[in-house]
A and B are shown apart, each in its own frame.
Chain A
């Protein structure tokens, strides 16, 4: 099975102190460390497990710039066969539909049976997967928590439903799936693996390679534009408990129970 996994490089929320920049339109990015968007990591692991069972190859793709190649290499160290970087100054300022259009161009350059994305980017809006499927006219399922390959070009998938329920569906290939975290246990990527893939070439495709025009991508084509970015002021929802440890513990139990968290 030929699988394409769309991944993204995001600031690692556990390893950064996220602060607003002075202009107030973005976060301060100077001292940030980046890593693979966590749901995307699960998507790549799922692809690896599918290929281990039924064979095939895995390509990882990201829309970004030169520095984003690092996450492609990390996923190649994890076991993906190819990396594709989609970078072009024209892409800057794209909205979700723009990103989906760029990815569509990439999908059409290959011959993929299955396209996986993470359920959402940690700094994103969980929209690209669905839009990509629509643009390609492929079936789409989101929040996927298990995949089983059936004969005759179908997959049996389970999806997570609010409240902890599961819905099981069959979906025709080719299709797009957005992968929920927890579907598997992603493997560790060590320094040795990263060093081993350092010299594998990663092709870069720009707008012209993908047959895209400025009308489809970039800031000019964006119909959704960010106008503000801020850290919400602390709301009134927060309550500080100030009793002894035992009292606090008791109160937390009562509060959680009152909100229906304990049955």
Chain B
């Protein structure tokens, strides 16, 4: 570039266009500024969201998820392609600005990029432009010819987005080509006068330059002018067109990731910055109109790149329910574009449910978090779903099948309408009670550990076995523990996620008092939903552990010995969403399984943070979604594919769904489901069969502790 001024010809070619270039520059920048200002309007009208704290942590997120593209390689082909394109863009950003300035100020050299550094940078950018150009070709071929299933738009969600995607990809290819052409003309002109080095070997500019060197100087001049103008037009067209579609993420992603939620395990409050007492003064709860979303949630809508990874992992989408996270976002974005147009008046205030969303869509979400775990742009979904549900609840718009359990939770403290006094009845089982005493902390406070049982494990005949196994394990290792009995209400985990915030608060306050009065110094629970509620929703409680963490700790301390596992059984661990994805407990349950001698364990393809939900717990058991196939049935098939014949889980709701699914899938006798506590209870090498015989404990296997 330094030698540019040495070639008056080049200057004269470009200078012919200076007025035009200035015009395009000014128009382009003004247009973009106007468009962005218009796009900001809904953000300004939206609800507040406190996202300006912890700058260092946020900056760390930017480095990890934006700059290092952390989540992209989870999808190998598309991810690596994206990393190349992203890296290319980062490298080329400086060159793009330099070129834009060169058109109106010929001798311009970006500070620091003169001499050797400049030549090195030129070579790098030559290859970057080439790589991005090739990536665009590959991406277009992928979209048009191979068309991965996740890009398809099911008819119920509207038309295919393919044309828009291909158009944008082509534009970037044009931009790269124009840029290379412009650089090639300059190099060719200099080469003709023997003044400069060639462009980077085998790069796109190099190829073009090899061709241009052979044509007349005047023709090169024409190409130079054309290349510059094409580059400038493509650049500004892209800049101004991106805010109208999926490529807006080029501009918004940096901000979306900077402002992304830091404490993902916590649910968004009804309104940011209000105390519980102030909630009574809030007229309307939840999201009813578009403007009820927070500004960050609207930024999410703008930032979605339509990559389809969320829906590809969504159990609700897989089962053919009306919900698919990708379209939750794109429908909201379409709404924003339509109701906040560029020129006409803003038309806001329309109800979202019944207009762009259906009620079934909003209730279909299991809040498993698979979408959020996958999204490369850290878009949030659960908070939006819960906010939409809060809006429906506030309007009394609740499916009849959910009204009964909600009413029962209000009057009885459990969704089944069972009487409180029967909450501890699981301890009365004939062959359990004599061998395993369970303290009743509601009657006599004072135990080290509280076992929080929660509703389903207390009342459901099948799940009571999990409670008894848990109690036996606690008893076996000599833990001083007790339960709250009738003083324990439902943890309210699903009540909150189904949008009934005030009922949740009533349950939370009741339980918090009961826990405080029990005098317990630690809490353990066998239900990941209760675990998540007590750990993340309640606050000010003693430390909470899931039973798998407790057992793993006992194993590490040498407190538990196991007898060998059954030789013909192949186990696989199904990660409950609220244990794994929402609380990062993946290793402890696996460590427990691996501590059992001779236990054969396989992993399902979808495990750990890609675990596939069982179909949803809590109130979801009462909801009757429209679906093609049960989510649980899909999961059970995945276990069979992995070669397992026993699914181990750590959640009573997973047990309900998976045991049902085994029957529906016709795998009875071939596949069984067992809770981690039941398995551990069964495998403990007891001196003698301790209490109730859940499963036979053969005497010959008994090894002293």
A162 interface contact, C-beta 8 A: no
What B residues does A192 contact at CB under 8 A? 285, 394, 501-502
Q: Are A78 and B396 in contact (CB under 8 A)?
A: yes
Q: Are B407 and A35 in contact (CB under 8 A)?
A: yes
Q: How far is the CB of B395 from chain A (nearest CB, A)?
A: 8
CA of A196 to CA of B282, assembled, Å: 10
Chain B's closest residue to A45 (CB) is B396
CA of A192 to CA of B404, assembled, Å: 17
CA of A189 to CA of B394, assembled, Å: 8
Chain B stretch 388-426: residues in CB contact (< 8 A) with chain A: 393-398, 400, 402-404, 406-408, 410-412, 417-421
Q: Are A15 and B412 in contact (CB under 8 A)?
A: yes
B134 interface contact, C-beta 8 A: no
Q: Are B417 and A14 in contact (CB under 8 A)?
A: yes
CA of A54 to CA of B683, assembled, Å: 69
Could you say which of B396, B418, B420 contacts A188, with CB atoms under 8 Å apart? B396
Interface string of B496-514 (1 = CB under 8 A from A): 0000111100100000000
Q: Are A187 and B419 in contact (CB under 8 A)?
A: no
What B residues does A12 contact at CB under 8 A? 407, 411, 417
A195 interface contact, C-beta 8 A: yes
CA of A15 to CA of B397, assembled, Å: 23
The count of residues in chain B whose C-beta lies closer than 8 Å to any C-beta of chain A is 28
Please classify the interface of chain A as helix (H, G, I), strand (E, B), loop, or mixed, using the class held by over half of its residues: loop
Chain A stretch 143-180: residues in CB contact (< 8 A) with chain B: none
Q: Are B396 and A33 in contact (CB under 8 A)?
A: no
Say yes or no: A193-B396 contact (C-beta < 8 A), given A14-B404, A188-B403: yes
What A residues does B285 contact at CB under 8 A? 192
CA of A14 to CA of B412, assembled, Å: 11
Chain B stretch 481-522: residues in CB contact (< 8 A) with chain A: 500-503, 506
Q: How far is the CB of B69 from chain A (nearest CB, A)?
A: 43
Q: How far is the CB of A232 from chain B (nearest CB, A)?
A: 23
Say yes or no: A33-B502 contact (C-beta < 8 A), given A15-B417, A188-B403, A190-B394: no
Q: Are B419 and A31 in contact (CB under 8 A)?
A: yes
Chain A's closest residue to B411 (CB) is A33
CA of A227 to CA of B220, assembled, Å: 112
CA of A192 to CA of B282, assembled, Å: 10
Q: Are A16 and B419 in contact (CB under 8 A)?
A: yes
A185 interface contact, C-beta 8 A: yes
Interface string of B625-660 (1 = CB under 8 A from A): 000000000000000000000000000000000000
Q: Are B417 and A195 in contact (CB under 8 A)?
A: no
CA of A16 to CA of B285, assembled, Å: 32
Q: Are B502 and A187 in contact (CB under 8 A)?
A: no
CA of A12 to CA of B411, assembled, Å: 10
Say yes or no: A191-B410 contact (C-beta < 8 A), given A12-B417, A14-B417, A15-B417: yes
CA of A108 to CA of B394, assembled, Å: 35
Chain A stretch 1-29: residues in CB contact (< 8 A) with chain B: 12, 14-17
Q: Are B280 and A195 in contact (CB under 8 A)?
A: yes
CA of A16 to CA of B410, assembled, Å: 14
Say yes or no: A31-B421 contact (C-beta < 8 A), given A15-B408, A188-B406: yes
What A residues does B398 contact at CB under 8 A? 187-188
Chain A stretch 184-236: residues in CB contact (< 8 A) with chain B: 185-193, 195-196
Say yes or no: A190-B500 contact (C-beta < 8 A), given A16-B419, A17-B419, A195-B280: yes
Q: How far is the CB of A187 from chain B (nearest CB, A)?
A: 3
CA of A232 to CA of B559, assembled, Å: 55
Could you say which of B402, B421, B506 contacts A191, with CB atoms under 8 Å apart? B506
Q: How far is the CB of A254 from chain B (nearest CB, A)?
A: 23
What A residues does B408 contact at CB under 8 A? 14-15
What B residues does A15 contact at CB under 8 A? 407-408, 411-412, 417-419
CA of A79 to CA of B419, assembled, Å: 30
Interface centre among A15, A185, A186, A187 (most CB of B within 10 A): A15
Interface string of B258-293 (1 = CB under 8 A from A): 000000000000000000000010000100000000
Q: How far is the CB of B167 from chain A (nearest CB, A)?
A: 46
What B residues does A33 contact at CB under 8 A? 411-412
What A residues does B501 contact at CB under 8 A? 192
Q: Are B404 and A190 in contact (CB under 8 A)?
A: no
Chain B's closest residue to A188 (CB) is B398
Q: How far is the CB of B263 from chain A (nearest CB, A)?
A: 25
What B residues does A185 contact at CB under 8 A? 400
What A residues does B420 contact at CB under 8 A? 31
Chain B's closest residue to A32 (CB) is B419
Interface centre among A14, A17, A187, A191 (most CB of B within 10 A): A191
What B residues does A79 contact at CB under 8 A? 396
CA of A22 to CA of B93, assembled, Å: 86
CA of A82 to CA of B417, assembled, Å: 29
Q: Are B502 and A195 in contact (CB under 8 A)?
A: yes
Q: Are A191 and B417 in contact (CB under 8 A)?
A: no
CA of A79 to CA of B408, assembled, Å: 21
Q: How far is the CB of A223 from chain B (nearest CB, A)?
A: 35
Q: How far is the CB of A230 from chain B (nearest CB, A)?
A: 22
CA of A190 to CA of B390, assembled, Å: 10
Q: How far is the CB of B458 from chain A (nearest CB, A)?
A: 15
Chain B's closest residue to A190 (CB) is B393
Chain B stretch 569-609: residues in CB contact (< 8 A) with chain A: none
What B residues does A17 contact at CB under 8 A? 419
Interface centre among A192, A193, A196 (most CB of B within 10 A): A192
Q: How far is the CB of B490 from chain A (nearest CB, A)?
A: 13
Chain B's closest residue to A192 (CB) is B502
CA of A199 to CA of B419, assembled, Å: 30
A–B Cβ pairs within 8 angstroms, 16 of them: A12-B407, A12-B417, A15-B412, A15-B417, A15-B419, A31-B419, A31-B420, A185-B400, A187-B398, A188-B396, A188-B397, A188-B398, A190-B500, A192-B394, A193-B396, A196-B280
Query: Which B residues have a C-beta under 8 Å from some C-beta of A?
Result: 280, 285, 393-398, 400, 402-404, 406-408, 410-412, 417-421, 500-503, 506
In addition to A78-B396, A79-B396, A190-B393, 18 A-B residue pairs with Cβ atoms within 8 Å of each other are A14-B417, A15-B417, A15-B418, A16-B417, A16-B419, A17-B419, A31-B419, A31-B420, A35-B411, A186-B400, A187-B397, A188-B396, A188-B397, A188-B402, A189-B396, A190-B406, A192-B394, A195-B502
